[in-house]
Structure 1
Amino acid sequence: MNEQDGATLLRPLAGGQPRGASTVDIAKAIADGDRHHRRVRLVGSAGAGATVVLVAVAGWTVVADGPQKPAPVSTAAEKSPSPGPSPSAKKGCEAQQLATPAGETVRAIVGGSDPTGKYLVGRTYPGGKPSTVVWEHLQPRKLPMPGEDPSLSGATSTGVFIGSSFTGDQTTTAWVYKGGKFSKLAGTNAMASAINEREVIVGSVQGKPAMWASPEAQPTMLAMPAGKGWAGGASGVDDDGTIVGTLTSSEFKEGQAYVWRPGGGAPQKLARPTVKGKPAMAYRTGKVRGGWVVGWASYDEPNRGPRWIAAPRWNLRTGAVDTTDGFYTVINAQGKIVGQAGVVAPDGTTTTLPLPGGQDSKSAMVNIEALSDDGTIIGGYYNTRDGSLDEQPVAVVWTCGS
């Protein structure tokens, strides 16, 4: 499935909520619409931070109502106040199309960043085929990863990058770029999802969550809950070593969110979020930063009614969780989440994200994949819904007030 396929599938949602009974399998619908465009990759295997694309099996019914101001994260369990909105939330953000390497078309995506926003990682399409690229201070640099359908997913502020590609039929290889070259991470059928500033890498090996203590290390398989049949992947790692991920089992086929605390031991299940005031039926993790986690959750109305989608935000220090309707895919150390509808701070303060050239955001699908800790740099890409640019993904960076 490529970016144009994703845009075509999502077009029925442009005019509002579609009609008919829900036939969308969300467990199979959370897929990386760009990064592995010829194969659908499920969140929970290792692509838990993947771009969200809804795949219609036989019809549509879903989705979120759109952005709504969430209740503040603070609860009775909260002992210290949540960080307030930064000046960037008040001053707004400006959009700029990211340049592609000389001689290439505008088609490009952003797949992640380092915590400072100095490096944005992604890919462009020389000759129509995907090839990985890094933007350093917004300037593009070709950095071709070995393998088919390569994808960069994370970076450190020192210029270490991770990603994955296919190196055999349906076989994935995890890569790390360090010291001027790509090297394979140890492990068969491995995927790299996230890296922290200490160069600890997390993802999956053979469909189970794994951690590499360094780019040179053998993978450590993370502890699983009691019982058999557990699988999944790690989607994020904080600088203190906290790891988050999604696990599935025969009982929880659509996944539940877990956290592995530093020092090892069994994972702890994160609090079940609510969607439309009802307990989520499935919920998964995405990114973690500074003790905050963003994820994905769903609730099916009875009798095959609408399936509602929302973004839970967990505060790992207090255990509190709040939920914002819609897709929000990244989070920073301030607890801000960002998605197509814009930036939402823990206190509910919201900031919209314009498109380059004053384009109408209602006529595009925006995917956010990068957010700096100070909130001043946001990276992502958009596909148009109106047919312009042949619905190619266009990479964008938003600079927000400091």
Structure 2
Amino acid sequence: MTVEFDEQDGVTLLRPLAGEQPRAASTVDIGRAIADGDRHHRRVRFAGAAGAAATVVAVAVAGWTVVADGSQRAAPPSAGQSGAAGRSAGPSAGPSAGQSTAPGGGKGCAVQRLPVPGGEGEKGIVSGSDPSGRYILGRTYPNGRPSTVVWQDLQVRKVPMPGEDPVLSDATSSGVLVGSSFTAQDTTTAWVYRNGKFSKLAGADAQALAINEREVIVGSVQGRPAMWASPAAQPTILAMPGGGMTGKASGIDEDGTIVGTLEGGEAKTGLGYVWSPDGTPRKLPQPAVKGNPAGTYNVGTIRGGWVSGWAAYDEPNRGPRWIGTPRWNLRTGHLDTTDGLLTVINAQGRLGGPSAVVAADGSTVPLPLPDGYETSTASVSTMALSDDGTVVAGYVSSRGGGMSYEPVAIMWRCAAT
């Protein structure tokens, strides 16, 4: 179970903010607005950040405001004031007094820190998991450099991927892992981990982003969506509806249905697509954000016929950019959108966000913070959600006194429902 919001998605979210000289000094804190831990397409370095990724929360620059939590925000601060970046995007459907907070009558979730290898600092992130939640993927930072790890039954194990800036993306329930790293300047290599070792997937400038239980892998090769029928297979470039398009495949279901995002032609800023098991592509229905058709919508992942991603609506005349999380049910054709950015989905259609898990019926389960963190200063990224909803994992960091504190890998154990 993985989430796919790569740094290009971050660029897309921020794209409307560019193009003019700002009327005041920029207040964008990129190291916090672009959260650590997701997929990598191009090398990006941000001071103080653990890596490159794209959970954009709330950004103010050049008179624009990106709003991810469904609430109105004041105008951007003037030069010298602290901006809105670094605040976590919580679902507007989050729990409130008297509201049901457990789908199916469960009793909520308990949080704990995930261990790091001996001799390392506490810094760590989660980047995905297998569908059962037994294998949680991530990385820690020995000697300040990222190195991939797996938490198996809550025990941390080093699985160092070759290359620079490595990221594990997804796993099977038997512990086969996929991911990507940089092995040359601005060139990625896709990897599969089986039987205790990493092997390269075929294809130049490739990314491995998801794998199903049959060990069919999807991702991209040279900027085009691709599939590997097995870890030893050559990549197949997926069919695209028009020439000159680029993109990636970011999720694959157990029946072979693939989802991803394409750009070019009609899809100038990215549109979500689904490929049926026979390889036929079709565009996913356009979601609405704040009651308006989304101008951009990217797909993150698929599980059990449920698809999620992110969508944006830009108010005219440089008004706020509103962010929502669309949820498509491919079996019924139903589409809904939750305010804010919820980054994972499971086979029951539950969405995982920084403060709660939101069920298909709209009920929520809150995700508490670990001891020592405050809601007003903590930033949480939820990166994994098991099919049965009992395991949620991600990472938390905080900001206070003008300083940012490094991320810590965490997981929640939730009551079965």
- Normalization by structure 1: what TM-score? 0.83
Deviation at 1:252, TM superposition (A): 2.1
* Match status 1:109 vs 2:107: no
Post-superposition CA distance 1:227-269 (Å, at most 9, x none)? 321110001001111100000014322100000011222x111
1:230 to 234, 237, 245: 245
Residue identity opposite 1:127 in structure 2: N
User: Residue in 2 aligned with 1:61?
Assistant: 65
- Contact 1:51–1:367 (Cα < 8 Å) also in 2: no
* Match status 1:311 vs 2:325: yes
Deviation at 1:153, TM superposition (A): 0.7
The size of the alignment, in residue pairs, is 360
Q: Which moved more, 1:58-67 or 1:102-111?
A: 58-67
Q: Distance in 2 between matches of 1:186 and 1:32?
A: 29
Q: Distance in 2 between matches of 1:24 and 1:233?
A: 31
* Match status 1:196 vs 2:212: yes
User: Residue in 1 aligned with 2:147?
Assistant: 131
CA RMSD of aligned residues (A): 3.0
- Contact 2:126–2:139 (Cα < 8 Å) also in 1: yes
- Contact 1:33–1:53 (Cα < 8 Å) also in 2: no
* Match status 1:397 vs 2:401: no
Post-superposition CA distance 1:45-104 (Å, at most 9, x none)? xxxx9641357665651112252339xxxxxxxxxxxxxx744x6311111010000011
Deviation at 1:390, TM superposition (A): 4.7
- Contact 1:209–1:222 (Cα < 8 Å) also in 2: yes
User: Residue in 2 aligned with 1:273?
Assistant: 287
Post-superposition CA distance 1:108-129 (Å, at most 9, x none)? 0000000000000110000000
Q: Which moved more, 1:364-373 or 1:384-393?
A: 384-393
1:52 to 45, 50, 55: 55
2:306 to 276, 279, 292: 292
Q: Distance in 2 between matches of 1:400 and 1:149?
A: 32
Q: Distance in 1 between matches of 2:113 and 2:54?
A: 19
Residue identity opposite 1:185 in structure 2: L
User: Residue in 2 aligned with 1:76?
Assistant: none
Q: Distance in 2 between matches of 1:31 and 1:242?
A: 29
| Cα distance change of structure 1 residues 340 and 232 upon mapping to structure 2, 3 Å threshold | same
Deviation at 1:180, TM superposition (A): 1.2
1:352 to 366, 369, 374: 366
Q: Secondary structure at the match of 1:392?
A: strand
Post-superposition CA distance 1:207-243 (Å, at most 9, x none)? 0000011111110110000x32111000100111110
* Match status 1:122 vs 2:125: no
- Contact 1:195–1:202 (Cα < 8 Å) also in 2: yes
- Contact 2:224–2:246 (Cα < 8 Å) also in 1: yes
Residue identity opposite 1:284 in structure 2: N
Q: Secondary structure at the match of 1:133?
A: strand
| Cα distance change of structure 1 residues 32 and 360 upon mapping to structure 2, 3 Å threshold | closer
* Match status 1:375 vs 2:383: no
1:260 to 252, 262, 275: 275
| Cα distance change of structure 1 residues 293 and 91 upon mapping to structure 2, 3 Å threshold | same
| Cα distance change of structure 1 residues 32 and 212 upon mapping to structure 2, 3 Å threshold | farther
Post-superposition CA distance 1:286-345 (Å, at most 9, x none)? 011000011100000111100000000000001111000111110000000011131100
2:36 to 33, 37, 45: 33
* Match status 1:240 vs 2:255: yes
For 1:137-152, list aligned pairs within 5 A: 137-152=153-168
Q: Secondary structure at the match of 1:391?
A: strand
Q: Distance in 1 between matches of 2:299 and 2:64?
A: 24
Structure 1: unaligned runs, 5 residues or longer: 11-19, 42-48, 71-84
Q: Distance in 2 between matches of 1:143 and 1:175?
A: 12
| Cα distance change of structure 1 residues 334 and 248 upon mapping to structure 2, 3 Å threshold | same
Residue identity opposite 1:261 in structure 2: S
Post-superposition CA distance 1:338-397 (Å, at most 9, x none)? 111311001000111111116323321111111100000001001212269951011000
User: Residue in 1 aligned with 2:18?
Assistant: none
User: Residue in 1 aligned with 2:176?
Assistant: 160
User: Residue in 2 aligned with 1:75?
Assistant: none
| Cα distance change of structure 1 residues 357 and 24 upon mapping to structure 2, 3 Å threshold | closer
**Identical-pair percentage:** 63
Q: Distance in 2 between matches of 1:319 and 1:125?
A: 43
- Contact 1:363–1:384 (Cα < 8 Å) also in 2: yes
Q: Distance in 2 between matches of 1:105 and 1:116?
A: 28
Bigger RCO (CA 8 Å, 6+ sep): 1
User: Residue in 2 aligned with 1:333?
Assistant: 347
Residue identity opposite 1:351 in structure 2: V
Q: Which moved more, 1:250-259 or 1:128-137?
A: 250-259
| Cα distance change of structure 1 residues 374 and 387 upon mapping to structure 2, 3 Å threshold | farther
User: Residue in 1 aligned with 2:74?
Assistant: none
Q: Distance in 1 between matches of 2:302 and 2:309?
A: 9
| Cα distance change of structure 1 residues 389 and 276 upon mapping to structure 2, 3 Å threshold | same
For 1:65-104, list aligned pairs within 5 A: 65=70, 66-69=90-93, 86-87=103-104, 90-104=106-120
* Match status 1:361 vs 2:364: no
Q: Distance in 2 between matches of 1:394 and 1:32?
A: 13
- Contact 1:37–1:149 (Cα < 8 Å) also in 2: no
Q: Secondary structure at the match of 1:127?
A: helix
Q: Distance in 1 between matches of 2:366 and 2:42?
A: 32
Q: Distance in 1 between matches of 2:210 and 2:64?
A: 32
Deviation at 1:203, TM superposition (A): 0.3
